[in-house]
Structure 1
Amino acid sequence: MNLPLFLLVLAVCLLIFGSVLAVLMLSGTPRYRTEPEHLLSLFDRVLDDSLSEDEWNMIAHYPIRHDDYLDGVRRRANRLMDEHGRFARVGRGRSILDEEGATELKALREHLQAHTRLRAQRADHENSDRMR
């Protein structure tokens, strides 16, 4: 007498669990991909003293595996911060970086921006060549 109801509930449960399992298996792992714009923004915020230590650690300590050049820039920025930066200085009304560190970070930022611009120009040039 209750067998049809039991089978209906079992079928609905199996359908729901199977659907959830299929969605979980087919969906990819979320990935954070650091782009040059992220590093440029990070450097700007360091130079403006509007960055928290947690925000720095979240971006600057995350390895960039898809681009060796960007990872080198990230590692250089970490060395600069280790040598010349102190987040505790902001609480005393001073800059995160000392003068030498700020100068080096500005140079690193300008270099990254020029490299990014050059890479974009090359990509545009290649795309226009393909269109011909």
Structure 2
Amino acid sequence: MTIVITLCVSFAIFSLVIWGLMQMRTPRFRMERADFLRGLETVIVGQADENAWRMLISYPMRHDPALEALRLECLQIEDDEYTGKLPYLFTDTGLERLRDLRERLLALPSHDEPE
């Protein structure tokens, strides 16, 4: 009888642990337009280091196609104009292109509004 109770309690605990693990979700990083704008501005004014730049452009933004297009354009600007030197990570041309990109980001309709 003790073996049956032990097996039942063990099964219940094991089932509870498995259920708990199934309910857990992986953490997700989701950058919103305001976050992207702040990051872009810190790069433009020379307050960002390479790690901040990598955080800004490394994560795909599938939740916002317009923001994803701007991120991909940042990658192109990086390929063309990145110096990696502090305080400004980009050439003057690259900074100007980032300023233009910032203006287009500000001109985008709200993510809630239809485009």
Task: Verify same fold: TM over 0.5.
Answer: yes
Cα deviation for residue 108 of structure 1 reads 0.8
Post-superposition offset of 1:52: 2.8
Unpaired segments of 5 or more residues in structure 1?
A: 124-132
Give the root-mean-square deviation of aligned CA atoms: 2.4
Structure 1 residues 108 and 62: CA distance shift in structure 2, 3 A: same
1:18 paired to 2:22: no
Quick check: 1:61 aligned with 2:55? no
The answer to whether structure 1 residue 35 and structure 2 residue 32 are counterparts is: yes
Give the Å deviation of 1:112. 0.3
TM-score by length of 1: 0.70
More displaced stretch, 8-17 vs 58-67: 8-17
The residue that corresponds to 1:74 in the other structure is 71
Q: Identity over the aligned pairs, expressed in percent?
A: 28
The structure with more helix, counted as a fraction of residues: 1
Q: Once the 2 structures are TM-superposed, how far is the Cα of residue 21 of structure 1 from its aligned partner?
A: 0.9
Of structures 1 and 2, the larger Rg is shown by 1
What displacement does 1:121 show? 8.4
CA distance in 2, matches of 1:57, 1:83: 16
* Superposition TM-score, scaled by structure 2 size: 0.78
Q: Gaps spanning 5+ residues in structure 2: where?
A: none
Q: How does 1:1-132 map to 2 (within 5 A)?
A: 3-4=1-2, 6-87=3-84, 89-90=85-86, 94-115=87-108, 118-119=109-110, 122=113
Distance 1:12 1:53, change over 3 A: farther
